[in-house]
Structure 1
């Protein structure tokens, strides 16, 4: 039996003391994967077991690639609030034409997802795309990665 639960996020402002402390320390870099981490997407007519049937998408994105129109139904997670604590970076194994369009939609002209890395920044190993976090920053101790696929960053245990 699959059960679904609605998640609600409370938006609480930082206190002046907390904001001052944050300004005194170097922010960590939060590397975010797109598919199945920030968003859930599927083609028209394809059902996803992770989405309650009948749930409308947050938005529909139409992408044209080599004369082929692809319509993606997308639902996404909140990222605006964490941008006050981390420098946000998108790193996806998706092709740039798709990843850029999705990141632009998520960013919504707020300039919080300015640094982006795509499939061409990955290494292909045994049929899987591996994300090399050293392209994001040379000091790996300053990076936190959020990705649904642990194998995607297996070169950085």
Structure 2
């Protein structure tokens, strides 16, 4: 056995295996998504956090006229719009995308959104592979929301730990 193989085995043995997970979405209560990062009463359900990947997955319920504040995807993300309509990066009229029900989207690392807007009642599922950085109008950082912050908020809202 080479030194490299030995070290690799030692590293692997030290890491705990992450448990598999299953969530019955309709059995989880909606929680308010913070008004500090959204407008119009958006609600969410945290489905999973993955510390080993720095990822988190949630489903969002967005009333007509609601929106997420300006943010940057520090890591990429994938979404599935399951209901309604979502104007991403200003929608198609402003060079972005207008997602329609059962539409899939990929947001690359560094994607910037001045506003993500829901002109009709909408829901979407999203996995964030890294944090979101919410920004002020001048582009300066306001807050970073990654898996730890998402899990901490969810735990405080639901009383779980």
TM-score after normalising by structure 1: 0.25
- Report which of the two has the higher share of helix: 1
- Report which of the two has the higher share of strand: 2
Q: Which has the larger radius of gyration?
A: 2
TM-score after normalising by structure 2: 0.25
